[in-house]
């Protein structure tokens, strides 16, 4: 076959894949493509099924890909609500989608099994210890610390303090070996979700070293021991 014709056919097939309106994860969870993406969503599905055990998605009923007012108003890439993940269609890589879907799946696990995850207070204590260490680091580096580091629940003011006044790049530089990522200090919920994301997609041994209690909980969830 002429190489040019072969290339045209290949590109046509790829466009067809990207323009599909429906996908399914684990042959159960429908993905509704309300608006097209620039990536192949087949690769997203394949990578999720390769990286994450199926039962971790027990509380996900469906996924919607498109433009959503709640994402836009809160500058979010995705959010989880009532069994569904709503994710923007303008991310640029397969990994962006995989990371966001796993992150929101972590929030679904929290909602379903929150007492089992947090009931013994070990994850909260580990997180709070890290938050107070972050406060000391910021004090030592001349930052005017005016946020409530004792409140481990999500606070938009605290999030904006980290993002606007300090910046995630600087947070990452100051907290290497303390938090898995610069977003993890935002709240105990994001600490858990970010940890789950890192466990499946990132440096698992590093996560275990810096966040042993969190890693232990994740292993218990995977093995359904909690």
- The rounded distance, in Å, linking the Cα atoms of 61 and 116 is 22
Single out the residue in 93, 128, 162 at which a domain terminates. 93
Q: Are 83 and 126 within one domain?
A: no
Q: Does the residue 108 lie in any domain?
A: no
DSSP 189: H
Q: Does the residue 101 lie in any domain?
A: no
Q: Does the residue 193 lie in any domain?
A: yes
Per-run averaged pLDDT (10 residues), the chain, 226 residues: 54 53 94 94 96 96 94 85 95 96 96 94 97 92 84 85 84 89 92 95 93 96 73
Q: Are 57 and 130 within one domain?
A: no
Q: Are 30 and 75 within one domain?
A: yes
Q: Does the residue 103 lie in any domain?
A: no
Q: Are 82 and 124 within one domain?
A: no
Please name the residues in contact with 72: beta carbons below 8 A apart, sequence gap of 6 or more.
none
Please name the residues in contact with 166: beta carbons below 8 A apart, sequence gap of 6 or more.
138, 143
Spatial contact of 12 and 50, defined as CB atoms under 8 Å apart: no
According to the 3-state scheme, what is the secondary structure of 17-68? HHCCCEEEECCCEEEEECCCCCCCHHHHHHHHHHHCCHHHHCCCCEEEEECC
Q: Does the residue 100 lie in any domain?
A: no
Pairing of strands 29-33, 22-25: antiparallel
| Residue 198, token pair as written in the block | 């890192």
Q: Does the residue 17 lie in any domain?
A: yes
Q: Are 25 and 63 within one domain?
A: yes
Q: Are 88 and 123 within one domain?
A: no
Residue 116 zone, left/alpha/beta (φ > 0; ψ -120 to 50; rest) = alpha
Q: Are 84 and 132 within one domain?
A: no
Q: Are 78 and 143 within one domain?
A: no
Of the candidates 207, 193, 162, the residue with the CA atom closest to the CA atom of residue 100: 193
Q: Are 50 and 129 within one domain?
A: no
Single out the residue in 93, 111, 136 at which a domain terminates. 93
Q: What is the separation of C-alpha 120 from the centre of its chain, rounded to a whole number of angstroms?
A: 24
Range of the domain at 10: 3-93
Q: Does the residue 105 lie in any domain?
A: no
pLDDT at 209: 96
pLDDT at 78: 94
- The rounded distance, in Å, linking the Cα atoms of 95 and 122 is 31
pLDDT at 3: 62
Q: Are 125 and 217 within one domain?
A: yes
Q: Are 190 and 136 within one domain?
A: yes
Q: Are 130 and 204 within one domain?
A: yes
Number of domains in the chain: 2
Q: Does the residue 21 lie in any domain?
A: yes
């Amino acid at each position: 076959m002429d190489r040019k014709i072969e290339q045209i056919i290949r590109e046509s097939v790829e466009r067809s894949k990207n323009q599909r309106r429906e996908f399914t994860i684990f042959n159960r969870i429908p993905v509704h493509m309300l608006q097209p993406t620039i990536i192949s969503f087949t690769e997203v599905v394949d990578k999720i099924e390769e990286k994450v055990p199926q039962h971790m998605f027990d509380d996900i009923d469906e996924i919607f890909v498109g433009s959503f007012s709640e994402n836009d108003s809160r500058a979010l890439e995705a959010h989880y609500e009532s069994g569904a993940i709503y994710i923007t269609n303008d991310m640029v890589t397969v990994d962006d989608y995989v990371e966001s879907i796993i992150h929101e799946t972590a929030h679904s696990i929290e909602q379903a099994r929150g007492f089992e995850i947090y009931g013994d207070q070990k994850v909260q204590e580990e997180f709070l210890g890290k938050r107070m260490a972050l406060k000391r680091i910021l004090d030592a580096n001349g930052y005017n610390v005016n946020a409530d580091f004792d409140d481990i629940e999500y606070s938009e003011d605290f999030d904006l303090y980290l993002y606007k006044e300090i910046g995630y790049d600087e947070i990452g530089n100051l907290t290497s070996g303390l938090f898995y990522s610069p977003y993890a200090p935002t709240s105990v919920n994001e600490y858990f979700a970010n940890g789950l994301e890192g466990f499946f997609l990132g440096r698992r041994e590093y996560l275990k070293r810096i966040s042993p209690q969190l890693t232990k909980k994740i292993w218990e969830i995977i093995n359904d021991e909690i």
